[in-house]
Amino acid sequence: MRILKILLLMVVGIFCVNPAIAGDITVDKDNGVYHVVLKGERIKKKIKFVTSEDLITNREAHIRGRSILTINAGFFDPKNSKTISYIVTDRMISADPMFNSSLLTNPFFRKNMNKVLNRSEFRVMRCGNKFEYTIVSHKSEVPFGCIVETSAQGGPLILPELRMEEEGFIVKNDKGEVVRESASVLHKTSRTIIGIKGTDECHILIITDDNPMDLYEVQKLCKDLELDRAMAFDGGSSTSFNYKDIEVISTKGDGAGRMLKSFMIVR
């Protein structure tokens, strides 16, 4: 009888914990776009940005992290598996683009180093006993009394203003013509977008191949959703999303998805 009671308590405990987490996450899909909302204080401390030494799929990261939700995060170099974006995991830098030798020997990077290294990033900060979201440039100071628990750099900033040129995603000549474009910012493609509304809502947009968008269209969508701040993570073939029985990948092949470097997981 006692063993039966213990088993019943364990089952009740499981079903008490999981709905509390799931209740903080809502997922809707409309016109080829998944709209994920992480709402409330409890879920902030469950968010973590992680990296992998070797490139792995979003599905693998989802399983390894035992996460309830996983999306792709920062930019990386598929040739050498090195990061192009800063990632902070458990208050420590886990991915640093300054250790990417290919970047350091790249003429464009050397000329635009300050722009690339200062691209926008999404931070989860602990300020006293509270957790806060923010989207700022990488070199922005951390407010007094706060510490960055976890963060991921991507870019460009989308709201309150598009910063494609300021973050080195487009380059214009003296006539104002675009002569270089990165991450297909001016073209329609699938995308992973993260934003903030108010103080307690983190919004994620998984824009699929069914409705690809350029960043001007993404900005309009973010405004329609009344987000306060928003930025892009890596997109195109990197766009990936796992949640319960939902899986979004933007590559074909064997259906496993692209091999990636960094991820946002909700534990």
Q: What is the pLDDT of residues 205-231, one digit of tens each?
A: 999 999 999 999 999 999 999 999 999
Q: Which of 134-148, 182-196, 249-263 has the lowest mean pLDDT?
A: 249-263
Could you give the percent of the chain with pLDDT greater than 90?
A: 87
Q: Distance from CA of residue 115 to its chain's centroid?
A: 19
Q: Please state, in angstroms and rounded to a whole number, the distance separating the CA atoms of residues 199 and 227.
A: 11
Is residue 257 very low, low, confident or very high in pLDDT (cuts 50, 70, 90)? Answer: confident
Higher pLDDT, 4 or 66: 66
pTM score, whole prediction: 0.90
Collapse the DSSP code of 217 into the 3-class scheme (helix H, G, I; strand E, B; otherwise coil) and give the result.
helix
In terms of average pLDDT, the best of 11-20, 205-214, 245-254 is 205-214
Q: Which has the closest alpha carbon to 67: 95, 40, 47? A: 47
pLDDT, tens digit (0-9, with 9 covering 90-100), for 118-176? 999 999 999 999 999 999 999 999 999 999 999 999 999 999 999 999 999 999 999 99
Q: What pLDDT was estimated at residue 87?
A: 98
Question: CB pairs under 8 A, 24+ apart, for 143-150?
Answer: 147/91, 148/88, 148/91, 148/123, 148/124, 149/45, 149/88, 149/90, 149/91, 149/124, 149/125, 150/47, 150/48, 150/49, 150/88, 150/89, 150/90, 150/91, 150/123, 150/124
- What is the structure's pLDDT at 18? 44
- Averaged confidence pLDDT in the chain: 91
How many H helices and E strands in the chain? 6, 20
- CA–CA separation, 81 vs 91, rounded Å? 22
Least confident window among 13-17, 137-141, 233-237: 13-17
pLDDT at 251 exceeding the cut of 70: no
pLDDT at 3: 45
Q: Domain ranges in the chain?
A: 25-266
Query: Are the beta carbons of 183 and 15 closer than 8 angstroms?
Result: no
**pLDDT for residue 9:** 41
